[in-house]
Structure 1
């Protein structure tokens, strides 16, 4: 068999302090889009564009009841944004599997990271041109930006294995995640200031929103330069050579088929993915439903919810760092399990927050910020220990695809509970089932055995 000549990577020479510092900046770069655009601005703004198209003569305070036609299917105006995000999520879940296989065989992974990031940032920046009633353009840009965000994150997560030794990954991942929360929080704060004082600059509220959307894309593109330049010496692939005739794409598809077949050889890796499916779904449901719970169940206004979001962002910065320090002493698995216990306490606490008690609500927000970043950062570093060499991106594509492809379970349970009970309090309480299930499954993951089966070096603590 004639194989394609490839430059073999040498992770031992790539695990430098400079590479680890450069690595974390991609969390800082893409968090601007996640926080400003994905979390705060795009859903209500896209809904306003759709409303302007469906009901151009609608008076203030009236509800638009006209249906829009999307590929011949009637869609309510208020459903355009959530349906768009759902489609983008499902498309990403499928596409990421192929991206992971390609990334494992790409000789310059940082070029691939940069290319995907800059296409996504271009789509994010182009949201500046969303105006009037052109919601269709918004739908397309959201799908492209979210797809590129997920794809670039697959490449990025896999690089953690190359820049950090097993004993350093918890620290490196936690610092990167903390940096992301800090960057996202800083830009969001600046964006919200512009929205509050837009008249001072002689611009409309709509123009302020459009400028903020543009700023998220520019931030993403500009700060991606740091990891791309800082990691430019990471060349070669850890994947095994393939037939010369197959090339990168053909060999990648073959690897994807092989990876699917090999998954059963790594039962503890699969068990971790199953645990992650549940407890991460609980985390995502709490994050996505917190504003709705705060406004509808507790009666807080928009300004109070904005303060809540900013508080969570900045507290999460410290929380991620703290969890990284704790993991270095007692191990990442125990720390994540402790984080899951904290999540169950936070949700229970939120259930009992009295309506209108904003001070108590902020205490709840502090607890959420403390546990949120650390749990997610350590999950990434834990999973990296269970990934077999040469298949880092392929296995991280499963990690990301599972996060995106199943992240609607919790929100569905939340919505169904509200529909059956007519109250958001039992709806938020239903997320406890996801944390309990995820925690119990995680206790059954034998990390030492899983690391051994993956053929990886054993860390000092895990």
Structure 2
């Protein structure tokens, strides 16, 4: 195991989490409504932002499975990660020049930054099996999320000070602090991505690797079609995928709707922002600690426990009445959010054929993005028909309970055996192609 490459991989989570915390969660929604879309009414601005998020995620859902396939064929996941990261960095930097009424430009930049962030994560996740043996993946995956929490939380704290106390930084006003926050996220993301740019793992190119972009597209589409058809060959991976659809939808809904829910029951903006910071800094040690437990007791067991805690969070959220309760729940989310996501990532990496992780993580992403529409929809629909968002938050129990039930049906050891057998068959097929190519004087290797 290349320790420098593993450290570089972990550092990338530190790098891009600044975008997730400062841009997506805290600063951009307010900036979009008050500056970029200041010339339209608030309801229209909110709709424009929602549509933009949907377009961005749709682009990611359509692009990443194909690009993941191509990354597997070329053995150069690091090259794809570099392109997506630079796309996200440049788009984030562009937010700093948005003026009043420039909502169309802001939306275009948000689509590009979403593609850069979410698309890059596909190749980042797919590197894990290339870097780390199966018995160490739970711990390394947890370290990635843990360092992401501390890195994203640290820059968010600085950025909130820039915005709320601009004079401390020699800035004239809050808007200047907001613009500088966007610049700081772009530079932070780029600077701490340099290690993975330098030490990204490389695999041998596949004999199927074509010589032209047209050939790339044809082979990529063919292999993607095969993925849809062959995933049934891996029943444990398929069960894990269905479980992921449910519990990840619940987790994402809590992330997306927590601020709106808190506002609807009277929690102030400052308390909401401080609670977000609390989640980040509690998440760091807890994800490391629980990652060690996952390595000792098994990722599946720890994941089930963390999802059970989410059910408790949802129930307690139904009865929440004051800011103190919101802080307590934010702390609980910090305890389990990172370990839920990191153990899911390591479980997936163990159940996938090692030579096609980019392809399969792309498949996980596209199906996960489409599945993620149901949680917010159920939250909103239940809240609307009952007249209370409390019932909306309580409805999320279904997603976590269904995820736990499906996880109990996953046989991890059998899934690892299935993936290993598929890898052996693929290697034998490639050897056969090379032998045939050499026999005709036209080698398939590059």
Give the alignment's TM-score, normalised by structure 1.
Answer: 0.87
Which of 138, 145, 160 is the equivalent residue of 2:113?
A: 145
**Bigger proportion of residues as helix:** 2
CA contact (8 A) 2:306 2:340 kept: yes
CA distance in 2, matches of 1:185, 1:43: 18
Is 1:41 the counterpart of 2:27 in the alignment?
A: yes
2:294 counterpart residue number:
327
Is 1:156 the counterpart of 2:121 in the alignment?
A: no
Q: CA deviation at 1:421?
A: 1.5
2:5 counterpart residue number:
19
2:370 counterpart residue number:
405
| CA separation of 1:237 and 1:43: change in aligned 2, threshold 3 A | farther
CA distance in 2, matches of 1:184, 1:269: 31
| CA separation of 1:277 and 1:238: change in aligned 2, threshold 3 A | farther
Which of 307, 313, 324 is the equivalent residue of 1:340?
A: 307
1:52-74 Cα deviation digits (max 9, x unpaired): 223xxxxxxxxx37xxxxxxxxx
User: What's the secondary structure of 1:418's corresponding residue?
Assistant: helix
| CA separation of 1:199 and 1:439: change in aligned 2, threshold 3 A | same
CA distance in 1, matches of 2:75, 2:302: 35
Which of 5, 11, 17 is the equivalent residue of 1:31?
A: 17
CA contact (8 A) 1:53 1:133 kept: yes
1:260-287 Cα deviation digits (max 9, x unpaired): 2211211211111110000010001111
1:384 counterpart residue number:
349
1:212 counterpart residue number:
181
Which of 249, 260, 263 is the equivalent residue of 1:295?
A: 263
Q: CA deviation at 1:389?
A: 2.5
User: What's the secondary structure of 2:192's corresponding residue?
Assistant: helix
CA distance in 2, matches of 1:309, 1:263: 38
User: What's the secondary structure of 1:391's corresponding residue?
Assistant: helix
| CA separation of 1:444 and 1:367: change in aligned 2, threshold 3 A | same
The count of aligned residue pairs is: 421
Is 1:360 the counterpart of 2:325 in the alignment?
A: yes
Choose 361-370 or 174-183, whichever is displaced more.
361-370
The 5 Å alignment of 1:411-430 reads 411-430=376-395
CA distance in 2, matches of 1:256, 1:146: 23
User: What's the secondary structure of 2:135's corresponding residue?
Assistant: helix
CA contact (8 A) 1:238 1:390 kept: no
The 5 Å alignment of 1:71-86 reads 76-86=44-54
CA distance in 2, matches of 1:387, 1:320: 24
4+ residue runs over 4 A deviation: 242-247
CA contact (8 A) 1:171 1:325 kept: yes
Q: CA deviation at 1:107?
A: 3.8
CA contact (8 A) 1:418 1:426 kept: yes
Q: CA deviation at 1:337?
A: 0.6
Choose 139-148 or 81-90, whichever is displaced more.
81-90
User: What's the secondary structure of 1:203's corresponding residue?
Assistant: coil
Which of 62, 65, 73 is the equivalent residue of 1:94?
A: 62
Give the alignment's TM-score, normalised by structure 2.
Answer: 0.90
1:399-452 Cα deviation digits (max 9, x unpaired): 222332221211111111111122111111111110001110111111111111
> Where does the alignment leave 5 or more consecutive residues of structure 2 unmatched?
423-446
The 5 Å alignment of 1:216-227 reads 216-227=185-196
Q: CA deviation at 1:177?
A: 0.8
CA distance in 2, matches of 1:106, 1:118: 20
| CA separation of 1:243 and 1:76: change in aligned 2, threshold 3 A | closer
1:59 counterpart residue number:
none
CA contact (8 A) 1:239 1:390 kept: no
Is 1:349 the counterpart of 2:335 in the alignment?
A: no
1:123-156 Cα deviation digits (max 9, x unpaired): 1111111111111001111111111212211111
1:71 counterpart residue number:
none
